[in-house]
Structure 1
Amino acid sequence: MNRFEEVINTVGGFGRNQKLQYLLLCIIGGSTAFFQMGNTFYSASADHYCQVYDVQIYADDSPLKNCTIPYSLEGEDISWDKCQRYDVNVSRGISAELCSSRSEETVSCDQGWVYDKTWYENTVVYEYNLVCSNDWMKQLSKSIVPLGNLVGVVIFGQLSDIFGRRPIFFITMLLSIATAIATSFAPSYPLFVIGQFFLGAFPHSLFVTACVMVMEIVALEYRTMCGTLTHLAFSIFYMLFGVIALLSNGDWRLTQLIVGIIWAFYLPSFFFILETPMWLLRKHRYDDAEKVLKKYAKFNKTTLPDDMFDKDREIYLRLKEETVEEKSRQYTVIDLFRTPRLCLNTILMCINWFSCSFVYYGISLNTDQLGSNPYITFMLAGFVEVPGCLMAWWLMRALGRRWSLAGFAVIGGAALMLSVPPKESIPVLSVAVAMLAKLCIAAVFSIVFVYGAEIYPTVVRNAGMGVSSLSARIGSIISPFVVLLDVYWGPLPFIVMGVTSVIAGLLALLLPETRNKTLPETLEEGEAFGRKDYKKTNSEGGEGKEMASTDRENKVKQNDIALSDDDQEKKTVL
């Protein structure tokens, strides 16, 4: 049995202590959906046309609108111009004579716009007039959060591997709370964008760290369940955010403030969430690991032997004298690309993360365009993720990670390619097909988080998750702008996203299967992972045992010591 498995099963593989921590990690990590999905409502738009006097309000049809706004007929439908108005002075009121004698010349909306506030009381689009020539600024506000994701995971992913999971988890939590509350009072669009950038960086880094922590506090047989249900929590809070936005009447400042206040209630979790014993053991901090595991044992009503780590300390001291240079090394993202097999696995994983994020946010951030009620459509898009996550959990156990990932990605991509925008189809059918695609892509997201945490060696696991998440952020940055391709052909954005998903799904078949495998810890094991000589080990039902690779066995024999976790940075099973 792997050393970490032996230790964690001694105190309880998924005892009451881990269950409490897991619940807190799910709640806090899941509610990062408030930040990831925020701009669906913050940057939402609605029907609008040129304003011609100061206190004007929106009207779907009125004598004033008929007199001042150009329109065209599309069959039986009237299409009103959103960016131009007739050059007519209505300061003294309107009359049939004034309207009939107006010039047909048009001017830009120099006095601003009036907006349909049926669904949204105040959005960033309304407040800063992000329409017409400024429409790109609305798309920028949607792309800035994933840009923050990209920067955050690179920085905090590396820091988490160096300084520990727990410090980074709580630092990013504090920064998220402060930034959320401050952003709700942003007096200008540039400050709003800056706030959204940091609300992309801090909460998402917390979520990635939480996913790693979940996998590092439970025994092997629970990791698939725990990893998948973490994403189920994200989907639940996704739906809850729709309720918060609805109760806020679509006021972006109030919604942002409520989110910040909710997160402030998470601060007491500091006293319950501990550093992961897996990270402590890998860093050879045996005294700290012993303290954490004794807390596990006390809460789980088990015992930790006093001499549990005596041999580990002895082995570590012996190896430290012989391999001082190797043991003091800090691993970085660059190590993921040093060897061919690990490099290929990293590239393939990055492609799949890019694809699922590209499609996921392409659908999620535009749910307000899919149905008549944006709140119901948004919550429906969150709801379909629940069966997606549950199906992913079951299929990962039944078929493995590789085939589950490929299957969901290909089916989701095909659904997108078969769908067309609502304006060109039956709206209910279009929404239904889009929701099927959303279900599949949500399942893909659940799988890649588990798959990524398993396929990267322990010494670069958080860095590997960081570079994968970086690739995902590139996809989510691009996705709001791909939607603009509909000006050339309505189905084009759907086809681009669908083709991307299908290609990524087929490439996933080149990845090694991780189900029922003892996972790599060192770079050497990461390179050997997937080869025939890297043998099958403990299943998620607890079967079998792992035999280490030949190179590692030889090295242990040369040191004349039994194989243990600390021979080379602890062979820990996630």
Structure 2
Amino acid sequence: MTESRKSNLNLEQNVTPNEPLDLDDLLPVLGEFGCYQKLLLWFICLPACIPCGFCAFNQLFMTDTPDDFWCNVPQLSEFNLTEEQIRNLAIPSTVENGVMQHSKCARYAIDWENLFNISDPDSIDLQPNISWPTESCRNGWVYNKTHVTSSIVIDFDLVCDHDIYPTIGLSALNVGGPIGVYVFGMLNDRAGRRIAYFACLATLIAGSLITAASVNFWMWCFSRVIVGLTIPAVYQIPFIIALELVGPDYRSFVTVMTCTFYTFGIMMLAGVTYLVPNWVEMCLYTSTPFILYFLYLFIMPESPRWLLAQGKFEEALNILEVMARVNGKKLPNSFRIKLHERVEADKMRVKENVKSLNSFDLCRTPNMRLKTLLITLNWFANETVYLGLSYYGPSLGDDQHLSFFLSSVVEIPSYLCCWFIMDSWGRRWPLCLLMILSGIFSIITVLVPDEATLETLIIFLVSKTMISASYLIIYPFAGELYPTSVRGVGIGTSSYVGGLGLTVIPFINYLGKENLRLPLVVMGFISIFGGITGLRLPETLHHRLPQTLEEGEEFGKEWDLQDCFRCIPIRPQPSNDASYENIDNLPPELELHTLGSILMEPDGMTETEQTPLDARQRRPSMRHLVRQASIINTQKAEGAMKLTYWF
């Protein structure tokens, strides 16, 4: 009997009106990663992730500050004086680091027309009197545009007393993120993935157009909040669409490829900002081309999981039939016939039995409370340091565009390394070790001489590589530690609290104006502290994932110092606990038809031991042994997939 025939028979046996619908049972029949999914991934979902990287970091190049500037003195422009003569005459000089330099924020408070005879320019004494009174700049500034030809700093005079304004603008961008995740998250669940994505994309483009049209700083700052609403939602939605259409064994691949395309977008941004120095044009070039993405309206499908959860069966069947046809498969008749009954039965069962859980339920018991605190702390440290180093990259080295490009390139090998080490060394030790080493490399930059810019850049890149790797680990690690019943709530809570650090990190980077390495030291200590505290978390590799809050409370409760210092996780003995998701203990192709333990008889035969749990109907997805490293199975009450990040 062919494999397709077997899958069809298994599906027909599994499809009963009393069980909730699980699309993962159908994907082996239609193709878990067939031609349809490949076309969708490579030509729609992955390119759709690029706008997030462009619009999240293009702001760094809008706020460049020229190396040299001084007060504008319009009265002296009436005299036949060169720019250098005006500067020497009207701007006081001070000694900084043993070098005589003109002041950037002060000028002599002199009425130049009364001091000099405008009709006799030859009578002007070009030697200033150091006893003259000084004042702050009242008529703007003159900028040396040798290296920085255009920025909002030049256009809006954001220097001296206003030099913190670009930092406020960067913080405003990050303020919009948590709000946007909530708003577009609700839209994502209620209106569908397609509508949510194109609404998010339209918001991003509208915010970018307002940015380009800004005539003052506060208008520009407001526009950045609008753009911030779409970050990271504009990245997550196409990722979810792709994730919900592939089988469990391919979700880790989709995750890595999504992160890689996001990084490719950041790398391309370095080239665009180098070729287009004007900040208004650069803003338009990094946003308006994505208007073409609205052509996806004609080809991007809605998620069939969401359609099934909403009871839109005809639309879901149309998409699944197209998938089957493109993949060279056939949609089973049993699925067509019993689809409506199963979804309706699933909705009734949810309404009767499922209790809504919230963030407070995570803190009701001591072990879950401790794990929630440590996960959130690690999330905060990871996200803050990762984004902080990404923002700080252009400040290091002799060429900001090259430094930013290199800080993006080093993320790719970190993703590939994580893919392998997590299945060998687990999650806890790689996560904590990478965070600690990243912090150490950030801190030791203080030992490098000020003039050693190349050495500082190299140490920074090593630190960025390690924090990028740990940042990728925290998502699946947190998902495995939270019980299935509250996994979506737990990850949402930790990511929201962690996102609060993004509003603070621009001000930490602002400290670099006085001391270039001070922000690296601060971020280094944050990373080390997060890495050390993370050692208290239990390892999840080779362990069955908790399903309920009660099981989550027991998971890791017997933790001791021996567990803390164990680098290579020990594979536990198979357990008879039927309420956990099974993983590597048994062959992945084996299929569970009951929830009893599978006992091996001396003669090599197996028999199923009946338990009181056998009388209960279980989800079809629980019948299959799944590999923990590649899937975390979570479902919302309505049946829609909730978890965003998979490994």
TM-score above 0.5, yes or no: yes
AA of the residue aligned to 2:291: A
Instruction: Label 1:107 to 1:519 Cα distance change in 2 as closer, same or farther (>3 A).
Output: same
Q: Distance in 2 between matches of 1:455 and 1:276?
A: 27
1:71–1:79: 8 Å Cα contact kept in structure 2? yes
Moved more, 14-23 or 391-400: 391-400
Deviation at 1:498, TM superposition (A): 0.8
AA of the residue aligned to 2:107: R
Q: Distance in 2 between matches of 1:95 and 1:325?
A: 96
AA of the residue aligned to 2:48: I
Deviation at 1:199, TM superposition (A): 0.4
Instruction: Label 1:218 to 1:71 Cα distance change in 2 as closer, same or farther (>3 A).
Output: farther
Moved more, 231-240 or 450-459: 450-459
Instruction: Label 1:155 to 1:123 Cα distance change in 2 as closer, same or farther (>3 A).
Output: same
Q: Which residue of 2 aligns with 1:564?
A: 620
Identify which of 504, 508, 516 aligns with 1:478.
Answer: 504
Instruction: Label 1:503 to 1:340 Cα distance change in 2 as closer, same or farther (>3 A).
Output: same
Can you list the C-alpha shifts for 1:452-471, whole angstroms capped at 9, x where unaligned? 56656677666555444423
Q: Which residue of 2 aligns with 1:33?
A: 53
Determine whether 1:291 maps to 2:318.
Answer: yes
Q: Which residue of 1 aligns with 2:331?
A: 304
Unaligned runs of 5+ in 2: 1-9, 15-21, 558-574, 597-609, 624-634
Q: Distance in 1 between matches of 2:109 and 2:532?
A: 57
Identify which of 280, 291, 295 aligns with 1:268.
Answer: 295
Determine whether 1:51 maps to 2:72.
Answer: yes
Can you list the C-alpha shifts for 1:11-65, whole angstroms capped at 9, x where unaligned? 2222222222223222221331111112211122122222223898xxx993433
Q: Which residue of 2 aligns with 1:111?
A: 139
Normalized against structure 1, the TM-score is what? 0.85
Q: Distance in 2 between matches of 1:183 and 1:108?
A: 29
Identify which of 105, 109, 118 aligns with 1:83.
Answer: 105
Identify which of 39, 63, 73 aligns with 1:20.
Answer: 39
Identify which of 135, 150, 153 aligns with 2:163.
Answer: 135
Instruction: Label 1:362 to 1:525 Cα distance change in 2 as closer, same or farther (>3 A).
Output: same
Deviation at 1:210, TM superposition (A): 3.3
Determine whether 1:240 maps to 2:251.
Answer: no
Deviation at 1:376, TM superposition (A): 1.6
Q: Which residue of 2 aligns with 1:537?
A: 583
Q: How does 1:336-355 map to 2 (within 5 A)?
A: 344-355=370-381
Deviation at 1:255, TM superposition (A): 1.1
SS in 2 for 1:307: helix
Instruction: Label 1:323 to 1:34 Cα distance change in 2 as closer, same or farther (>3 A).
Output: closer
- Whichever of the two has the greater Rg, that structure is 2
Q: Count matched residues.
A: 568
Determine whether 1:403 maps to 2:421.
Answer: no
Deviation at 1:146, TM superposition (A): 0.9
Q: Which residue of 2 aligns with 1:5?
A: 24
Identify which of 174, 179, 184 aligns with 2:207.
Answer: 179
More contact order relative to length (CA 8 Å, sep ≥ 6)? 1
Deviation at 1:481, TM superposition (A): 0.7
Seq. identity, %: 27
Give the root-mean-square deviation of aligned CA atoms: 4.0
SS in 2 for 1:99: coil
Q: Distance in 2 between matches of 1:207 and 1:135?
A: 31
Q: Distance in 2 between matches of 1:55 and 1:26?
A: 57
Instruction: Label 1:460 to 1:319 Cα distance change in 2 as closer, same or farther (>3 A).
Output: same
AA of the residue aligned to 1:227: T
SS in 1 for 2:74: coil
Normalized against structure 2, the TM-score is what? 0.76
SS in 1 for 2:94: strand
AA of the residue aligned to 2:430: S
1:146–1:477: 8 Å Cα contact kept in structure 2? yes
SS in 1 for 2:164: helix
SS in 2 for 1:496: helix
Deviation at 1:192, TM superposition (A): 0.8
Deviation at 1:213, TM superposition (A): 3.4
Instruction: Label 1:222 to 1:237 Cα distance change in 2 as closer, same or farther (>3 A).
Output: same
Instruction: Label 1:205 to 1:485 Cα distance change in 2 as closer, same or farther (>3 A).
Output: same
Determine whether 1:210 maps to 2:199.
Answer: no
Instruction: Label 1:498 to 1:554 Cα distance change in 2 as closer, same or farther (>3 A).
Output: farther
